[in-house]
A and B are shown apart, each in its own frame.
Chain A
Amino acid sequence: MSPDLGKCSRSLLTCEKSNFLNEQSRHEVHVSRHCFNYKISLLLPECEVLPVRVENVIHNFSSYYLVRDLPVYKFLEEKWLATVVKKGSFYALSCKTRIDEDNVCALLPSGQLILSLDKDTYEHLGLEGRPSLYSHKKVMRYVVSVDLTNKSLVPGTKRYQQVLLCLKERVMLRSDFLLTTCHPGADKDGALHNLLSQYTYEECRPTLHSQTLKNLFCPSLHHSDLRGKGLSCTPNQFLEWLGAVNLNISCDNSAVSFLSTYMCPEPRAPVSQSVLCTVTGLIPPKDVCRLLKELRCYFAEPNFAAWVSLTVHGFVDCPVSWGAAEHGFFKGGENLYNFVCFKNQDYWLYKATGSEDACPP
């Protein structure tokens, strides 16, 4: 077998250490630039039930909408542009479309419409784009980016007519879409509802699941030791352990066990009870920010926890990860980040991506 087959596609993990009270801390920027969040996972060691204040924040998360069979050109219609797109108040992502085999579409609050298209669709469509950054020998995928807030794209202009013609006449791109507003009050005048009422759609609530884990071994983390030089485990060991806890994997195997030799990394300490809470849906960054803010206050009340963890998973089939950076799917489409918050308002921020992603910001 070729020795190259022993190598794996590249993955990246960035780790940052800072303090929430630091004026230059960019934690909110990082959260707000990761637009399409699929799942949030909270781990609160030394906690019996999910704190009421945290639960309230989660219950106030924005609803999202599943719209069936929505043609992409509808985003360009005058009323959509005026009432929704140009206000920059909502996110849309095509649903049940796989970025490694289908055409995928996303609309960012900045008004950028991003289409990740296979070669045939791209050639039929006739809109100018660029080859995917993650093409192999032959380019099989193209990315088209249209700024819907651009002045040249107002109804009546030549450019507008051309884009509309491409998306309506040449290739009628349509898909199920997930939509959400940037924050709960963004659709006060009901404009989005009015527009959606022409289509089959349903309003969905993020799904909350919470459980208490008993007698768990938790890695001991010291806020000053990000790299894991002795006071903490290494970043990779910590993320592996978090994965194990989320997937209900046993962490107390022996080194000679036939099935698994996985163990909780050192240094570690027994924790009698911990709360693991997950929320799934299309979760806008503003809601993640509010949850993070609440977690920071968690330490204001007396408790034994030295740290709490917040993990956010992005959609694997999203054409962007952070900001407008291209995202793809090779073996997996992982794009996730994790905050570890400490008592003294220090935090660690891990950002992980797979092979078809740029280095996280």
Chain B
Amino acid sequence: MEEKSASYERVVYKNPSEYHYMKIHLVLENADTSISAEEFKYLIISGLKDLYGEVGAAIPFDVLTFDQTALSAILRVFNSGLVKLWSALTLTGSYANKPCAFRVTQVSPFLLALSGNSREMEV
């Protein structure tokens, strides 16, 4: 049986997402250093702890993907924790006593937007 079609409806949501998503990558001095996803997350938590103490270390965030070759990841964090996480990433400067840096490639309240970044276009 054909289901009855819907009537027109429109809804506008302001700040619909409770999360922000960050595409980041880690730059290490020694490119051969191997790092697992767990170590990667622990490095970020350590950065949060150094900057904001125990409360900062408890900020919940997810490592949605981690690419071990490129050392790139996509993080998901509550909106309220975005500034703290971003600042901790900026100020993280060493991994295993060797200099390192996090580069933030893209930030968006829509995860879908991270899959279509025209700045990555190769022409």
Contact = CB atoms under 8 A, between A and B. Distances in A.
Interface of A: 1, 5-8, 10-19, 21-22, 24, 38-39, 41, 66, 95-96, 98, 176, 178, 204, 223-224, 226-227, 235-236, 239-240, 242-244, 246-250, 258-262, 280, 311, 313-317, 331-332, 334, 336, 338, 343-346, 352, 354, 359
A361 to B, nearest CB: 10
Given A38-B121, A315-B118, A354-B108, A359 B12 contact: yes
A94 B35 CA distance: 39
7 contacts: A1-B83, A8-B82, A240-B110, A243-B113, A243-B114, A247-B74, A332-B108
Interface in B59-94: 62-66, 74, 76, 79-84
B43 to A, nearest CB: 13
A95 B123 CA distance: 9
A300 to B, nearest CB: 13
B31 interface: no
B119 A6 contact: no
A346 B8 CA distance: 10
A236 B112 contact: no
A262 B12 contact: no
B37 interface: yes
B13 A243 contact: no
Contact of A16 (B3, B10, B74, B108): B10
Contacts of A244: 64, 111
A344 B114 CA distance: 31
Contacts of B63: 259-260
B41 interface: yes
A11 B116 contact: no
A263 to B, nearest CB: 11
Given A14-B12, A38-B116, A239-B112, 16 more contacts: A8-B79, A8-B82, A11-B109, A18-B8, A41-B115, A223-B3, A224-B6, A235-B13, A236-B17, A316-B119, A332-B108, A334-B113, A336-B116, A352-B110, A352-B112, A354-B113
Given A66-B123, A224-B6, A317-B118, A259 B111 contact: no
A282 B41 CA distance: 37
B9 interface: yes
B117 interface: yes
A311 B66 CA distance: 24
A262 B62 contact: yes
B109 A354 contact: yes
A259 B37 CA distance: 8
B16 to A, nearest CB: 4
Interface of B: 2-17, 19-21, 37-38, 41, 62-66, 74, 76, 79-84, 106-119, 121, 123
A236 B13 contact: yes
Contacts of A343: 3
A175 to B, nearest CB: 13
Given A259-B38, A352-B112, A248 B65 contact: yes
Contact of B83 (A6, A344, A354): A6
Nearest to A15: B11
Contacts of B83: 1, 5-6
A204 B76 CA distance: 35
Contacts of B20: 8
Contact of A261 (B11, B14, B62, B65): B62
| Interface core residue of A18, A41, A331 (most chain B CB under 10 Å) | A331
Contacts of B21: 243
B112 A39 contact: no
Contact of A243 (B15, B37, B107, B110): B110
A206 to B, nearest CB: 11
B121 A280 contact: yes
A248 B74 CA distance: 11
Contacts of B19: 240
B79 to A, nearest CB: 5
A154 B107 CA distance: 44
A21 B13 CA distance: 26
